[in-house]
Every structure is written in C-alpha cells, then in structure tokens.
Structure 1
C-alpha cells in the first residue's frame, strides 16, 4: 500500500542569500513511532526577488515531486 500524499508535510521556507530568496523544499512525514521523519530535502531550486514567489515555487515543486513518486 502506498502512502497518501496528504500524509506528507511540505516546508517551503526559503533561505536568503546574495539578496534573493532561494527556493527549496523539505518534505516530511510521521515515522512509525510518531516522530517527524524527513522524506526528501531538495537543494536550492531557484532564486527569486520576492519571498512569496520562492515559497510558491518550492511548494509546487514538492507537490509535483510527491505526485511523481506516490501518485
């Protein structure tokens, strides 16, 4: 049985570097013991002038990543 993509959490918080917001995503879920477990942590995906654009890009990227792997 494959996990539902709704059982994953996406943290799209960008980092600030060289005057831009670097989009990246951390995808996590709960482990068998209830603790938070990282599933995937992307590298830098793209740079943006605006924080909200970096967040939206990272969230969309992570949703697509989950869709490809878990349907």
Structure 2
C-alpha cells in the first residue's frame, strides 16, 4: 500500500450465522485532506473457519482502500 495505513482502521471481525462465519469489514479513517468516514462492506462470503473469514475481510478491506487511496 502506498497510502498512510495509520490513517485507517480495519475491523474484520466476522459474525456467526447459520453455522458459518460471515466475513465483513468495517473501515474507518480520514484520508489526507479528506473527511472522516466509516465504510461497512456488508457480508462478503461465508467460511467454516473464523481465521479464514478474518483473512478474507482484511484482504478485501486493504484492496478497497488501495483502489481509493493508493498510488
């Protein structure tokens, strides 16, 4: 990532639903020269393992930030 990662907080905590972990991400931050925001991904995908859901949501959030604030 080419932007200041300290300006953003990613919370990839999955939720448990119907016997699986639903990956989703909450992104909070203030981009350089911008306005503070919170972005909710919504459900991204279901996983049997909690760690897989966290990894997926974290990667999704980093890609989302990169598309908007990367070089």
How would you bin the TM-score normalised by the shorter chain?
A: 0.7 to 0.9
Distance 2:37 2:15 in 1: 18
Gaps of 5+ in 2: 31-35
**Cross-structure match for 1:17:** 17
Once the two structures are TM-superposed, the CA of residue 51 in structure 1 deviates from its matched residue by: 0.0
TM-score, length-normalised on structure 1? 0.81
Q: Is the 8 A contact 1:26 1:41 kept in 2?
A: yes
CA RMSD of aligned residues (A): 1.6
Gaps of 5+ in 1: 31-36
Distance 1:67 1:24 in 2: 17
Matched, 1:61 2:21: no
Distance 1:59 1:20 in 2: 17
Once the two structures are TM-superposed, the CA of residue 38 in structure 1 deviates from its matched residue by: 4.2
**Cross-structure match for 1:48:** 47
TM-score, length-normalised on structure 2? 0.81
4+ runs of 1 displaced by more than 4 Å? Answer: none
| Paired residue total | 63
